[in-house]
Every structure is written in C-alpha cells, then in structure tokens.
Amino acid sequence: MAASNAVTTYLITGANRGLGKGLVSAYLQKPDNVVIAAVRNPTDSTSLALQDLPKHPSSNLIIVKIESTSETDPALAMAELATKHNITTLDVVIANAGISQIFPAVADAKADDMIRHFHVNAVGVVFLFQAVLPLLRQTSASASPNSMPQQQQRRPAKFVTMSTSAATIGNQEHVPVPNAAYGPSKAALNWITKKIHLENPDIIAFPLDPGWVQTDMGNAGAKAFGLEEAPLSVDESIHGIVHVVDHATRETSGKFMTYNGGEQAW
C-alpha cells in the first residue's frame, strides 16, 4: 500500500451474514480499507468464510468478537485492535447486529420477548458506542481544520445504526404489521442515535433504514406476514447504504436516513 494513501477503517457488527456480510464484502473490494468484521463467534463457519471474500490488494480484513448482549466484548475488542493490530482510530462504525424473532400485537406481547429485543437492538448498541467513542474521537480530531494541512485532513468519524421502517412512529399507519418487540426496540435505538448526534458535535451519527431486505431476517419477517420473500435485494440495499454512509456529513447527521438517500419519519 502506498504510504501516501489514507487508509479508511470500518467496523461492522453482525458481519457474518445478511447486510453485515454484504457491507464487509463491499468495503473490502474498495482500495485502502481496513474492514473489521465483528461477529458473535469468530470460529463459526460463517465467520471463517469471511476470509474467502474477494478484496482489493490494498485492503485488509480483521475479525473480532463482539456479542451484542455482552457489556465487555466491545471494550475487549478495542483493546485487541490496539495491541494486535495497532488500530487506535476508527473512521466508520456501522452497528448492524440485531434480532427480529417474534411479531406480536401489543395485546399479545410478552415482557421477556420485548426485553430480549431491547437488550440486543438498543442496549447492545450503547455498549458498542461507549467502547468505540475514543477511537472515533481520534479520527474526528484529525479532521479538525487546525489539526493538519488541508490536503491531509479526514472527514469526521461516523457512527451509523441499522434501523428499520418498523421503528417509525410518524408513518406507523403505513407499516400496518404487528411488531411489538422489534419495532419499539428499534425506535429506542433511533432515540439513542439522535442523542449521540446531539451530544457529540464532532461525530456524524444517524440511524439508517436499509429497506425490507432479502436476508434471512428479512425473509423470515416476510413469511410471517404472508409474503414469499422481502421485496428488496441485498445488493440493491448494500449499494444504497454504502452511498449514503460514504457521503454523510454533519449536515445530514441526526436524521433518520433511508438506503436510497431519503429521510424516514421518526
């Protein structure tokens, strides 16, 4: 890798399948990227298979363990990145890991189901953010106008959370499906992400609706609602997500974005 090239470091959670794997693949094929794939179990066959993804000669893959319900895994992963890989900054974090396991109406929702979804989809992202924040701030500090010559400056760091149209309150009439575990857990994630944006003016932070995608999770949800499969291909969603993330600025930060560059109602 040429010494003059700026390396961009991505951390993607839930990286061994679905959208996470698609994002890992997309960024590995671009030049001068370090892609950190965070997975529940690095020795699982789906995690090991990430090493076989095609990649640009100047890009590299690192696999770390982050289990979304663990309060300690994210910090341990950051320590491992520093000691084993000399990584002390992150340019982009995409909090993609999540669950959608049951689709009850509010009248039928069980506390255990709701708590499980909140733990993974909202609280787990808080654990992740707390661990990566120092590394994001290191990147944003180098983006300061006074930190270095203009031609060497980097963009502020980005923290992107994977949300869903199921989280919308303003457009709930247009999402008429029972979803009283997954939906409110993602609405909580949106609140957390917006607050991250407000509390950290040096970071770009926003939730992103990837569409209803033909992943295992998306298709399972589609079948639960009587559809054969979800309407949106993984490739189309990934193409849009990459464009939105790569072009995000502080001006678009704090908005509920969609994969096609639009805005979703909170």
Q: Which residues are catalytic?
A: 182, 186
Distance from C-alpha of 39 to C-alpha of 63, rounded to nearest angstrom:
7
- The single-letter code of the amino acid at 110 is K
Can you give the length of the chain in residues? 266
Distance from C-alpha of 237 to C-alpha of 235, rounded to nearest angstrom:
5
| Residue 102 tokens, joined | 């049951």
Taking CA atoms, 182 is separated from 35, 103, 111, 117, in Å, by: 28, 7, 12, 6
Nearest residue to 147 (alpha-carbon basis) of 94, 199, 93, 89 = 89
Distance from C-alpha of 183 to C-alpha of 165, rounded to nearest angstrom:
8
Distance from C-alpha of 148 to C-alpha of 129, rounded to nearest angstrom:
27
Residue with tokens 């607050």: 195
User: By three-state DSSP, how is residue 168 classified?
Assistant: coil
Residue with tokens 């995690």: 47
Distance from C-alpha of 205 to C-alpha of 208, rounded to nearest angstrom:
10
| Residue 201 tokens, joined | 């003016």
